[in-house]
Copies of this chain bind each other. A is one copy, B any other.
């Protein structure tokens, strides 16, 4: 098979310890000796075996990412950010899909840890706070993305959905809307709840009450967005703006509104959430909120590496990212 440290040592006429030193740039090695060894390394195409390396040094050089579904754009962006940061830190990235199953999340954590991941990034939708806390205690290099749990604040790289949703709702109101509908996800996990409650709060402060008849729920995809609009239209309550849980639902909403003869945004405005590619694909292009997942991913990697070397030594600092409204065409401006 491929050359080992022994082969290099033999050919170079030195000990494996010396080869190890030149490979890792640690310890003292004579200048000419270093050159000679390096030459052999290049000639033989020697690459250290990372299993042996991590076994011997008890240092893990892998970082694990657990995501519900890597094929979704949001998680793809998360993975891309993590990958970039791994590359910079000369670490390898292991990926595991949890397919929205709580048990799979826990298994993945265990599995990745045993595969030499000292740092891990977890996007968890369904694990309870207590479970999350337990996991953080068990794995010092674990970082939680897109959740905030006060007890492990320093382990959370998160985004304030409530606040972002308030911003968005205010933006809609400030552009003249008072009859506002909200499209939420049928899956009652955190994000939809937070975004709905943020919108409610913001509207409440403007003396607008977001009540049941103007809230529709369905699956968090294009089809779900269409279903919601069908339902709202059937109910017959007036609305001039729609705030959707995410861009996919917003796009579905636009489709269904157009199909029913409404013009977006002239008759009805629609805004989404995430700033995903579908928002740029639909006509009119979608006004939405940017979720800085790529930046968060990079940050999370740094944090997890630091945590892993600190043995999870935690400060009180948390890691909160903020949003930004992306103004495009689907919200009519005053």
Contacts and interface: CB of A to CB of B under 8 A. Distances in A.
Interface residues of A, number: 51
Nearest to A72: B76
Contacts of A95: 79, 83, 93-95
A251 interface: yes
A291 to B, nearest CB: 13
B73 A71 contact: yes
A35 interface: no
Interface stretch (A36-44, A113-121, A171-179): A113-121
Contacts of A94: 92-95
Interface stretch (A50-58, A126-134, A209-217): A50-58
Could you say how many copies of this chain the assembly holds? Answer: 2
Contact of A80 (B54, B71, B111, B294): B71
Contacts of A93: 94-96
Contacts of A79: 70-71, 76, 79, 95
B87 A76 contact: no
A196 interface: no
Contacts of A62: 115
Contact of A283 (B71, B113, B283, B294): B283
B281 A47 contact: no
B70 A281 contact: no
Nearest to A79: B70
A149 to B, nearest CB: 23
Nearest to A104: B87
Interface string A54-94: 11000000100000011111011101100110010000111
A115 B48 CA distance: 9
Interface in A212-270: 222, 248, 251, 254-255, 258
A14 interface: no
A17 interface: no
A47 B114 contact: yes
A280 interface: yes
Given A70-B76, A76-B71, A92-B94, A114 B50 contact: yes
A278 B2 CA distance: 45
A50 B114 CA distance: 6
7 contacts: A50-B51, A50-B114, A71-B73, A71-B79, A73-B73, A92-B111, A258-B283
